[in-house]
């Protein structure tokens, strides 16, 4: 029997966040941990064929092998493209948060 490792699976909505600890066999993939955590029952809108995932903010694939204490993050689609928002601010002549003004 293979050893178990502890990992976390997280997903966040604007008003609700879930962090679930789960134990999976060593050598398990991110997808195995996601399914074992039960997070898909809490958030039925998650579609693993669409939602991107990562480990500690670094994008990965569902078949990525996990290590003990990894945090698997399930990402939502952005509501707005950050590049487009910056472009709009520049056109409007607004000052950015870093203090630079549009030229």
- Where in the chain are the domains? 4-74
- 63 three-state secondary structure: coil
Whether 67 and 5 have beta carbons less than 8 Å apart is answered as yes
Question: What integer pLDDT is reported at residue 42 of this predicted model?
Answer: 93
Tokens 């990525």 belong to which residue? 64
CATH of domain 4-74: 3.10.20.280
pLDDT tens profile 6-28: 999 999 988 899 999 999 999 99
Strand order in the sheet with 53-55: 17-25, 4-12, 71-74, 53-55, 58-60
- Whether the predicted pLDDT of 88 surpasses 60: yes
pTM: 0.74
For residue 86, the surrounding DSSP H or E stretch is helix 82-92
And the tokens for 88?
A: 């709009």
At residue 100 the predicted structure's pLDDT band, cuts being 50, 70 and 90, is low
Question: What integer pLDDT is reported at residue 11 of this predicted model?
Answer: 96
pLDDT tens profile 42-82: 999 999 999 999 999 999 999 999 999 999 999 987 666 77
For CA atoms 96, 97, 98, 99, the dihedral sign is positive
């Amino acid at each position: 029997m293979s050893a178990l490792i502890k990992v976390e699976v997280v997903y966040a909505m604007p008003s609700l966040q879930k962090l679930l600890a789960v134990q999976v066999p060593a050598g398990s993939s991110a997808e195995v941990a996601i399914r074992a955590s039960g997070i898909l029952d809490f958030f039925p809108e998650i579609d693993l064929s669409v939602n991107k995932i990562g480990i500690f903010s670094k994008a990965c694939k569902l078949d990525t092998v996990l290590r003990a204490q990894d945090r698997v993050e399930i990402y939502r689609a952005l509501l707005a493209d950050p590049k487009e928002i910056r472009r709009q601010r520049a056109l409007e002549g607004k000052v950015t948060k870093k203090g630079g003004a549009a030229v």
